[in-house]
Amino acid sequence: MATPVPAIEVEKLTRRFGEVLALDQINLSIQQGEFFSLLGPSGCGKTTLLRIIAGLDIPDEGKVSIGGVDAGGLPAHRRPVNTVFQSYALFPHLNVWENVAFGLRMKKVPPPEIEQRVRKVMALVEIEPLAQRKPNQLSGGQKQRVALARAIVNEPQVLLLDEPLGALDLKLRKQLQIELRSLQRRLGITFIYVTHDQDEALVLSDRIAVMRDGKVEQLGDAAALYEHPRTRFVSQFLGSCSLIEGRVKQRNSNSTLVETTLGELKTASAAPAREKITLAIRPEKVQLLPCPAVAGENRIRARIEQVIYVGSGTHYELRAGTQPLRAEVMNSHAGSNSFQIGQELLVCLPPEALIVLDD
């Protein structure tokens, strides 16, 4: 069986703004029907990449193919992609209906078909009652829906979304995230979603590319990125991690013994071929052992410096010697975790939870 044509194929894409390298030899292949996120801090090049795919910016080097066709010579208005802009960029002089119909009118679709498709899409995103309103009479969430309707009514091969929920409050954002996900499943359109919000990326995406300084730092699905971050940057940007520096003491076939300031730690993964390595552990994997506990493998003594109660759970800032550690415990039973500030206790760092980073 032949491999299906990727929706978007990006090869060695480079873009410079003066001295700044916004995109540095990016290679990406995005599958048909995929919800793909570009995640990274501001200035990492994710929006530039999106604009190049849309044809709104021109790369200095490299190639973009849309549905297997080289898009190099295609201007923005001839590309089979549509964009939902961060600022929505609705036409202020047109009402909602005219905004949604704009793309079809530009393509000279016959009016009865425009009428029918606009009505269908407006029903899909639930903005029918707003048809006659002007953009300045809409709330942020409503503008968002109009911007989405205006893009998907054209039935693009790929929908590009540039932080579409960035300007909305948290509650609305959560709601629209769920709607976006189900919309994407229903339409089957490939979505490329730019965001700096790691939670959003985790909730929405089939695959995520974590970007930094114009490069893709790591690519994978949500679980792979979260469970096996390869670099310090990814481990810190996607969730949080406690980092522990150490030296490899003994390599076994399926485990590594690492000498750290906390003593000897065993990790279940193989170490890279160098002596100095960094271990990372997710705060929810750190186990606080109720006293009295006995010392053992990967058990270290720590002191509680800070207790933060967040409702569903409790976060603890710990310190073992000079090494800071963070732990998160779910509050599954009432009064189950009654550790106090200043308390000394034993902490377990399970070998399979200790990740060995590449840098």
Partner 1 sequence: MKPKIHFGEQLSPRGEQVRSALTSGPGIAWVTVFLLVPLLSIIVISFMSRGTYGDVQPHFTLENFKRFLGYGAFGFDPLYPKIILRSLLMALGTVTLCMMVALPLTFFIAGLPQRWKQVALMLVIIPFWTNMLIRTYAWQIIFSGTGWLARAAAALGWIAPGDALYPSALAVFVVLTCDFLPVLALPLYASVEKIDWSIAEAASDLGADGRRVFWHALLPQIKPGLMAGAILVFIPATGQFAIPDLMGGAKTVLLGNAIQQQFGFSRDWPFGSAISCLAMLIVMLGLWVFARTAGEEGRKTLI
Q: In terms of C-beta distances under 8 Å and separation of at least 24 residues, what long-range contacts does 274-277 make, across chains too?
A: 274/248, 275/247, 275/248, 276/245, 276/246, 276/247, 277/245, 277/246, 277/247, 277/248, 277/356, 277/357
Q: Which is nearer to partner 1, 92 or 311 (CB)?
A: 92
Q: CB of 106: closest distance to partner 1 in angstroms?
A: 4
Nearest to 214 by CA among 9, 15, 44: 44
Q: Which is nearer to partner 1, 56 or 168 (CB)?
A: 56
Q: Which is nearer to partner 1, 154 or 298 (CB)?
A: 154
Q: CB of 160: closest distance to partner 1 in angstroms?
A: 9
Q: Which is nearer to partner 1, 159 or 241 (CB)?
A: 159
Q: Which is nearer to partner 1, 51 or 230 (CB)?
A: 51
Q: CB of 192: closest distance to partner 1 in angstroms?
A: 14
Interactions with partner 1, residue window 243-262 (CB under 8 A): none
Contact in structure between 97 and 90 (CB atoms under 8 Å) = no
Q: CB of 104: closest distance to partner 1 in angstroms?
A: 9
Spatial separation of the C-alpha atoms in residues 142 and 84, rounded to whole Å: 13
Q: CB of 89: closest distance to partner 1 in angstroms?
A: 4
Q: Which is nearer to partner 1, 56 or 183 (CB)?
A: 56
Q: CB of 52: closest distance to partner 1 in angstroms?
A: 13
Q: Which are the contacts of 120, defined by CB distance < 8 A and separation ≥ 6?
A: none
Q: How far is residue 328 CA from its own chain's centroid?
A: 22
Interactions with partner 1, residue window 66-125 (CB under 8 A): 75-78, 81-83, 85, 87, 89-93, 102-103, 106-107
Contact in structure between 232 and 221 (CB atoms under 8 Å) = no
Residues touching partner 1, count (CB under 8 A): 24
Note whether 56 binds partner 1 by CB under 8 A. Answer: yes
Q: Which is nearer to partner 1, 51 or 212 (CB)?
A: 51
What binding mask, one character per residue, do residues 145-184 give for partner 1 by CB under 8 A, x or -?
Answer: -----xx--x------------------------------
Note whether 54 binds partner 1 by CB under 8 A. Answer: yes
Q: CB of 20: closest distance to partner 1 in angstroms?
A: 18
Note whether 214 binds partner 1 by CB under 8 A. Answer: no
Q: CB of 169: closest distance to partner 1 in angstroms?
A: 22
Spatial separation of the C-alpha atoms in residues 94 and 58, rounded to whole Å: 29
Q: Which is nearer to partner 1, 150 or 212 (CB)?
A: 150
Q: CB of 29: closest distance to partner 1 in angstroms?
A: 23
Cα dihedral 293, 260, 244, 208 sign? negative
Q: Which is nearer to partner 1, 83 or 298 (CB)?
A: 83
Q: CB of 116: closest distance to partner 1 in angstroms?
A: 18
Note whether 136 binds partner 1 by CB under 8 A. Answer: no
Q: Which is nearer to partner 1, 158 or 302 (CB)?
A: 158
Q: Which residues bind partner 1 (CB under 8 A)?
A: 54-56, 75-78, 81-83, 85, 87, 89-93, 102-103, 106-107, 150-151, 154
